[in-house]
Amino acid sequence: MTTPVSRRKALAMIVSGIGAFWTMAAATVSGVFLIGPLRKAGAGRRVELGKVTSFDSEFRLVHLAFHVSDGWHTKEEKIQVYVRLNEQSELDILSAKCSHLGCAVNWNGEGREFVCPCHAGRYGEDGAVKDGPPPAPLERLEASIEAETAYLNLA
Amino acid sequence: MMIETVKNWLENRTGLPSWMHRFFNEPIPASTGWRNTLGSLAGALLLIQLLTGFLLALYYVPHPEAAYESTAYVENQVPAGWLVRALHYWGASFIIVALFLHSARVFYTGTYRNPRELTWVVGILLFGTILALAFTGQYLPYNQMGYWAASVGIEIGSSAPIVGPYIGTLLRGGDVLGALTLSRFYALHIVLLPAILIALVLIHLYLLRRHGPARTPRDPSDDVVPFFPMQVLRDAIVITAGLGMLAGASVVLKTPYIAPIDLTDTTYVPRPEWYFLAHFELLKLAPPSLYQVATFWFPGAVITFLVALPWLDRSPTSAPSARKGIIGIGSVSLIIFLALTAYGFTTGGHEEASEADTLLADDSVDPAQARLAAGRAVYDEQMCATCHRINGDGETRGPDLSHVGIRLQEDYLREWLRDPEQFAPDTIMPSVMVEDEALLDALVAYLMSLKPEDSGD
């Protein structure tokens, strides 16, 4: 025969157990739902850059536009890159986005440098900082070549 | 002891521990039992609605171009999104069932009487708020059912004398149902109505605690027991049964697929949710001369009767034998209500009969031809042409499908349609959601038939 106190304790445990079960169930479903945005991070993307033969030893600005799915929404994203064929016949691809505050840099063919029109940041033709406020070189991007066509690999 | 110290600290600052102690040890009549658990069940279901509603609001966008898309995104792309949406969808029906049972219990036991008149009136307001939430929520996914429900519902509201037309315009945000209505229903559904609901629940609970559960006429004793443990355990068991059924319904039935708004689709048969079916049938029965009676005066009279019930019922005790008149009126009304609802279910078309279903079932044509025609109807219903093009018809956001029949293998195509993400994680192509497998087969058959004319097949 159990005492009334232990019966009360036992029932308290049962009720708490039921409460804990439903709380856990709700938390699990909510948790899985909420971590959705973490799931698909880092999926790579390929964007066609153009025929390799269309580039030469001088930097050329290429405007790229591609569709990115942003949740239920599909938006057009645009990036600009400078592309040239170097002495090893490989593509040098530099982002035109200044590492300082993101303005689009201009290529100055005579001075052999990239100049940012916003805060006078200057980069050499390898993208390294020559002068001004930029904290890092211009971002270098990789391309893969298939059937004479270059594709840009974006993160 | 550590716990004691924390408890004392909290007690001195807030008084919470002793409040909890009083809450759980509240003396209630010894005859309180299973019939008194239905309000708790409704409360638990409400908490599920608040939680799932918040989760859905993380993704939902109240814009005509985005409402359906963002809902489909939750359904198809967000992990457990289909489950959260189904819980919210079925939860609404479960709450309404729980409230029906709860109100019926209160009605038959006569516990709305003095001194609990206001508990009853607040309960009626709560029921009305829940129906308003169901009504506004149904419009948000911007599909056929929600559109027509809102259209008819606002029309019914507009039939009220004098102020009716103004109410209609205010609800719509203008003369037409559309973008402004969507914002309004969204604001009502996620801000105003939940706030009113929570306030009413708190008042309802305060009044319940103030008067305690009513003693039944069969229990004239003064015996009391504490709320905890037995009544809390009964509540927990009933809540577990209710939530278990809700989870089961959501997993098995999911949220029914309803096509996006297409005002040109005359094959769509608008039907209200089951809890409005009785009124729906009543509207069909009423002759034109009684239009306003059916839309406004009769429902208004029923609501007035329910609100006035505690004052109309002057019987000396709450025993059913002393309340034969009231119980008779209530029972007959309930039977009529249930009969009309049941009749509403049988009058066909409650399940959306799509053009594709009809074509597929048409045995007057060759089955292979019927399948292709049904497949084309699925293609139209799913609005594939908003992204794809066939022989010059449609948009070019997605691949041209004119010759898809020679480009893809049938099995691959079927799996792709079922879940494009398994092949292309970043694709904007949504999963094709159809009611049954035969329709997906029809769509595949139709797409596989798309070949260049000279391919000889």
Residues 6+ apart with CB under 8 A from B234: B33, B34, B36, B37
- Average pLDDT on A147-155 reads 82
Query: What is the token pair recorded at A92?
Result: 């040098």
Lowest-confidence region among A18-22, A72-76, A113-117, B48-52: A72-76
- Average pLDDT on B112-138 reads 96
The residue of chain B with its CA nearest to that of A11 is B229
**Mean pLDDT across chain B, nearest whole number?**
89
pLDDT at B232: 95
Question: Are residues B428 and A69, on separate chains, in Cβ contact within 8 Å?
Answer: yes
Best residue of B234, B426, B427 to probe chain A, by most A CBs closer than 10 Å: B426
The answer to whether B253 and B82 have CB atoms below 8 angstroms apart is no
- Average pLDDT on B420-434 reads 78
Question: Are residues A36 and B229, on separate chains, in Cβ contact within 8 Å?
Answer: no
Task: Please calculate the CA angle A88-A91-A95 and round it to the nearest 5 degrees.
Answer: 140
- A37 compared with A130, residue with greater pLDDT: A130
Task: Using a pLDDT cut of 90, give the percent of chain B over it.
Answer: 56
B83, B425, B427: residue with CB nearest A29? B83
The answer to whether B241 and B123 have CB atoms below 8 angstroms apart is no
Question: Are residues B51 and A26, on separate chains, in Cβ contact within 8 Å?
Answer: yes
Chain A residues with CB-CB distance to B397 below 8 A: 74
Question: Are residues A25 and B233, on separate chains, in Cβ contact within 8 Å?
Answer: no
Give yes or no for residue B440 having a pLDDT over 60.
yes
Q: Does the pTM exceed 0.90?
A: no
pLDDT in tens, B282-306: 888 888 888 889 999 999 999 999 9
Task: Please calculate the CA angle B38-B40-B44 and round it to the nearest 5 degrees.
Answer: 115
Phi, then psi, of A117 in degrees rounded to 5: -75, -15
In 3D space, the residue among B407, B409, B417 whose CA is nearest the CA of residue B443 turns out to be B417
Complex ipTM > 0.85: no
In 3D space, the residue among A39, A104, A43 whose CA is nearest the CA of residue A68 turns out to be A43
Lowest-confidence region among A112-126, B106-120, B285-299, B433-447: B433-447
B306-323: burial string, b at 16+ Cβ within 10 Å, e else = bbebbeebebeebeeeeb
Question: Are residues B428 and A33, on separate chains, in Cβ contact within 8 Å?
Answer: no
Phi, then psi, of A100 in degrees rounded to 5: -75, -75
Is the four-CA dihedral B152, B153, B154, B159 of positive or negative sign?
positive
B48, B81, B427: residue with CB nearest A33? B81
The answer to whether B99 and B42 have CB atoms below 8 angstroms apart is yes
Best residue of B77, B238, B396, B421 to probe chain A, by most A CBs closer than 10 Å: B77
The answer to whether A84 and A60 have CB atoms below 8 angstroms apart is yes
In 3D space, the residue among A126, A147, A154 whose CA is nearest the CA of residue A50 turns out to be A147
Best residue of A30, A33, A66, A74 to probe chain B, by most B CBs closer than 10 Å: A33
Q: How many beta-carbon pairs below 8 A join chains A and B?
A: 76
The model's confidence at residue A5, banded by pLDDT at 50, 70 and 90, is low
Best residue of A72, A73, A76 to probe chain B, by most B CBs closer than 10 Å: A72
The answer to whether A96 and A61 have CB atoms below 8 angstroms apart is yes
> Going along A24-104, which residue ranges are E strands?
45-51, 60-70, 73-85, 91-95
**Whole-angstrom Cα distance, residue A19 to residue A16?**
5
Chain B closest CA to A14's CA: distance in Å?
Answer: 8
Question: Are residues A69 and B426, on separate chains, in Cβ contact within 8 Å?
Answer: yes
Determine the 3-state secondary structure of A122 from DSSP: strand
A12, A33, A67: residue with CB nearest B79? A33
Question: Are residues B230 and A11, on separate chains, in Cβ contact within 8 Å?
Answer: yes
Q: Hey, what amino acid is at B392?
A: G
Helix B117-139 to helix B144-158 angle (10° resolution) is 130
Chain B residues with CB-CB distance to A15 below 8 A: 228-229, 232-233, 236
Chain A closest CA to B299's CA: distance in Å?
Answer: 37
